[in-house]
Amino acid sequence: MKYENLLNTFIELVKIDTSSKPHSNTVPSTLKQLKMAEILEEKLKNIGMEDVSVSKYGYVTGKINANTEKLTDKIGFIAHMDTSPEYSGKNVQPQIIHNYDGEDIILKDKIIISPKQFPYLLTLKGQTIITADGTTLLGADDKAGIAEIITAIEYIINNPNITHCEIHVCFTPDEEIGKGADYFDVDKFGCDYAYTIDGGELGELNYETFNASHCCINIKGKSVHPGSAKGVMVNAANIASEFISMIPKLETPENTDKKEGFYHLININAEVSSAKVEYIIRDFTKEGLNKKKEVLRKIADNINERYAFNPINIDIKDEYENMYEILKNKEYIIERAKKAYANSGVNAKIVPVRGGTDGSRLSFMNLPCPNIFTGGQNFHGPYEYISLESMEKAVDVIINTVIL
C-alpha cells in the first residue's frame, strides 16, 4: 500500500473520545480535546513538521517551508478533532472489513448497514470498509481528515524530490458545535487560502454551504393549581406545542434536500410555568434565510397578540454564511482543487453542503476555504462507514494540491 500508516493512524485516532459539548463554558468545550491536541502535536513533530504548537484553546498548527521558489502560494489544510455530541464517541471499536462483498454489514444492537438503504455501498465492492461496532459513531468526521492530512504531510517530507509550496496545517476543536473558528488565529496561520478536509464521498468538492441561524424561543406561563385554573392558568408547554405546530410542515430536514432550506427543531424543555424551544434554520440564500426568520417572528407575534403579557420572547442569532459569496470571486482556489482531483484520477463532483464547515466562517475571516472529501458516509451515528481506498485518494488530492 502506498500510504502504509494511513489505516493505523485513523484507527488510533477514532479510538480516542473527543466529542464536543454544547453550552459548555470552556474552550475547547471538553478537556479530552486538549488531550487529543497534545497527541496530534506529538505526531506532527514526529513526522518532521516545523513550528508545531498547541494554542491555549486547543488549536494544533504546524508548517513546511516551500522547497522551490516557483510555487509561491501558502496553502493550508484544516480538519477538526471533535466528534458530534449527537451520538456516543466513547470506546469506539473499529471493524475492518477487507474485500467488502456488497452484502449487509451486521453490527451490534441490530444495526445493519445495508446497500438497500445505502446504495453507495455497492460502489465499494472489493474495497476495505471501516465501521464502528454499532454502539457508537465511528468518528471519520473528521478524524479521517486528520489522518489524511498527517499521511500526506509525512509522504511529502519523506520524499524530498517532490517540489511543493509552503504548507500549513491546523486541527481545530469544537467544529461540531459551531465554534471551530471562534479562536482561529488567521494572521498567525499565515496562509493565502486553505482547504478543509471534512467532506463526504469520494470526489465531492464543496464551495457552497447554507446560511445559518439559531433561534431560541423562551415562553413564560402562569402556573396555578389545575383545580382552580380556569381563566387564570397559561400553560407554557401548550404554547410551545402550538408554536411548533405552526412551523411549515414540509420545510423540515426530513422533507427537504438539494438546495431547499429548513427549520430544524433541536430542543424542547417545557413545563407549565416556562418553556424553551430551540430551532436551527438554514437556507442557501440570505433572502431565504431572512424569510424564515420572519416566519418565526410572525408566529411569535401571532401568539403574543392573544395574551396580555406577551409570553413569547424570541432571539435569533446568525451562525455562519454561505462561503460561495467569498469564493465566487476567487475561482483560482477552486480551479486548483479541480486540477488536483484530476491529477489524482478523481472525478470532481461539485456538491453544495447541506450544513457548514469551519471553512464557512473562515472564508469570511479572510481565509478562503473550500472543502475536500474524506471518503466517509453517514456521519454522526452508528451507520457511519468509510472506504480506505477513498481515504487514499484524499491523500493523493492533498499532495497534488501543493505541487501544482
- Could you give the residue numbers annotated as active site? 82, 175
Report whether 81 contacts 18 (CB < 8 A).
yes
Residues with Cβ within 8 Å of residue 245, at least 6 apart in sequence: none
Spacing of C-alpha 67 from chain mean position: 33
Is the four-CA dihedral 365, 174, 395, 344 of positive or negative sign? Answer: negative
Q: Beta strand 105-106 with 385-387: parallel, antiparallel or unpaired?
A: unpaired
- By three-state DSSP, how is residue 303 classified? helix
Angle between helices 140-158 and 388-402 (to 10 degrees): 50
Nearest to 95 by CA among 139, 129, 143, 136: 129
Q: Is 248 exposed, middle or buried (0-12, 13-18, 19+ CB in 10 A)?
A: exposed
Q: How far, in Å, are 35, 53, 85, 121, 130 from residue 16 at the CA level?
A: 9, 20, 14, 26, 16
Q: For 352, phi and psi rounded to 5 degrees? A: -70, 140
Which cell numbers hold the place of 39?
Answer: 497527541
Q: How many CA atoms lie within 13 A of 195 on its CB side?
A: 32
Question: Diameter of the chain by CA atoms?
Answer: 85
Calpha distance 207→335 (Å, rounded)? 11
Alpha-carbon span 127 to 124, nearest angstrom? 6
